[in-house]
């Protein structure tokens, strides 16, 4: 047993103790979130299900075998199935057949939560289409990790876009469309395309972007800066273009005209509590709730 695997022996026992008594139905697909870099981010349920499952389908069998061995989980090669973007439709039918035979099948992508940006969505659709159960196991995700570090998700929520088009013209068109998006936007990018993405995002000028590089890994880096500064930030250090990237384009709520906001608030405030009036005014005008709240306070004080 390697030193890495030995260090997780206690975690395996903890998994059996903590979640082993729960119900794990046969004939179900288990979507297993795996770490995006730090092995310690695996969950107890993930460890238990990876041991319990009759079969493990995964994006890359070699990668997942290394991961399992790191956790001291022994999985014979004939009990694993490669299921990736190039064979997902065909491999999904094999998984459905195993489930119909009453087997438990776990699916793991190379890192993070399956079926979000990684393969798995077509597998889930095929399993559900066959009337079989899908059991999601929450865990590591680059999307929620970078959002939590950006501090930009307010009342409007966020939009997950993932990878923009690889072709320059299509990518710039996509960025121009994002310029009008008032909510935070999550983007993903590979190291060989990060400079091209930075160049496209620079067109958004002063709009803020949080860059998460090598999240959860030894050389993790998180920085927030103006989009116009992103190409220069990358160029300042060759290390900054290495690794996987998750980015948050900060939201820019569209400001309502002061006349519109004041007019709507003057109609609503006499009839409704202030918070409710502000919420409705924001929905009606598309304005910033914080700005409308400050305006409501001024109107109240002026009475």
pLDDT in tens, 17-67: 999 999 999 999 999 999 999 999 999 999 999 999 999 999 999 999 999
- Distance between CA atoms of residues 114 and 211, nearest Å: 22
Contact 78, 54 (CB under 8 A): no
Specify the pLDDT at position 8: 86
Specify the pLDDT at position 263: 86
pLDDT digits (tens, 9 = 90+) for 71-121: 999 999 999 999 999 999 999 999 999 999 999 999 999 999 999 999 999
- Distance between CA atoms of residues 246 and 215, nearest Å: 8
At 14, the pLDDT band (50, 70, 90 cuts) reads: very high
Is 70 exceeded by the pLDDT of residue 301?
Answer: yes
The tokens for 70 are: 């790191």
Q: Please count the other Cβ atoms lying within 10 Å of the Cβ belonging to residue 90.
A: 9
pTM comes to: 0.81
Distance from chain centroid for Cα 168: 24
- Distance between CA atoms of residues 12 and 145, nearest Å: 25
Specify the pLDDT at position 289: 79
Contact 26, 102 (CB under 8 A): yes
pLDDT-wise least confident of 2-16, 200-214, 258-272: 2-16
Contact 41, 55 (CB under 8 A): no
Which residues, 6 or more positions from 56, have their beta carbon under 8 angstroms from its beta carbon? 50, 64, 68, 75, 79, 80, 81, 105, 106, 107, 108
Contact 72, 1 (CB under 8 A): yes
Q: Tell which phi-psi region holds residue 109, choosing left (phi > 0), alpha (psi between -120 and 50) or beta.
A: beta
- Distance between CA atoms of residues 24 and 227, nearest Å: 47
- Distance between CA atoms of residues 292 and 258, nearest Å: 9
The secondary element (H helix, E strand) that includes residue 44 is helix 44-52
The more confidently predicted of residues 38 and 4 is: 38
HEC states along 96-148? Answer: HHHHHCCCCEEEECCCECCCCCCCCHHHHHHHHHCCCEEEEECCCCHHHHHHH
Burial 15-40 (b: 16+ CB within 10 A, else e): beeebeeeeeeeebbbbbbbbbbeee
> What integer best gives the mean pLDDT of the chain?
92
Is 80 exceeded by the pLDDT of residue 4?
Answer: no
Q: What is the percentage of the chain residues whose pLDDT exceeds 70?
A: 94
Q: Please count the other Cβ atoms lying within 10 Å of the Cβ belonging to residue 135.
A: 16
Q: Quick one: DSSP state of residue 163? A: S
SS3 29: strand
Residue 7 has phi, psi (to 5 degrees) of -70, -15
Q: Please count the other Cβ atoms lying within 10 Å of the Cβ belonging to residue 3.
A: 6
pLDDT digits (tens, 9 = 90+) for 112-159: 999 999 999 999 999 999 999 999 999 999 999 999 999 988 767 899
Specify the pLDDT at position 254: 57
Specify the pLDDT at position 3: 57
Task: Evaluate the CA torsion angle 89, 91, 97, 103 in order and state its sign.
Answer: negative
The more confidently predicted of residues 5 and 208 is: 208
Q: Please count the other Cβ atoms lying within 10 Å of the Cβ belonging to residue 115.
A: 17
Q: What is the percentage of the chain residues whose pLDDT exceeds 90?
A: 74
């Amino acid at each position: 047993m390697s030193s890495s695997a030995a260090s997780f022996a206690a975690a395996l026992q903890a998994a059996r103790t903590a979640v082993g008594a729960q119900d794990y139905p046969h004939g179900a697909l288990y979507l297993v979130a795996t770490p995006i870099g730090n092995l310690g981010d695996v969950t107890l349920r993930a460890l238990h299900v990876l041991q319990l499952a009759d079969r493990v389908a995964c994006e890359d069998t070699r990668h997942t075998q290394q991961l399992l061995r790191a956790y001291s989980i022994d999985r014979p090669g004939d009990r694993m199935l490669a299921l990736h973007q190039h064979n997902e439709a065909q491999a999904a039918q094999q998984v459905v057949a195993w489930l119909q035979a009453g087997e438990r099948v776990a699916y793991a992508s190379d890192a993070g939560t399956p079926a979000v940006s990684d393969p798995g969505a077509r597998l889930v659709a095929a399993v559900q289409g066959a009337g079989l159960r899908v059991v999601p196991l929450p865990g590591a995700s680059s999307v929620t990790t970078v959002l939590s570090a950006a501090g930009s998700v307010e009342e409007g929520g966020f939009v997950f876009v993932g990878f923009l088009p690889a072709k320059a013209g299509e990518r710039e068109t996509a960025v121009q469309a994002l310029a009008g998006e008032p909510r935070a936007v999550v983007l993903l990018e590979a190291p060989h395309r990060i400079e091209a993405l930075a160049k496209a995002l620079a067109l958004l000028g002063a709009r803020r972007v949080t860059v998460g590089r090598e999240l959860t890994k030894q050389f993790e880096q998180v920085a927030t800066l103006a989009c116009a500064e992103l190409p220069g930030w990358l160029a300042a250090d060759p290390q900054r273009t290495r690794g996987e990237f998750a980015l948050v384009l900060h939201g820019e709520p569209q400001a309502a005209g002061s006349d519109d906001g004041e007019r709507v608030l003057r109609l609503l405030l006499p009839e409704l509590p202030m918070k409710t009036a502000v919420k409705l005014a924001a929905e009606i005008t598309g304005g910033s709730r914080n700005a409308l709240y400050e305006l409501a306070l001024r109107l109240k004080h002026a009475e």
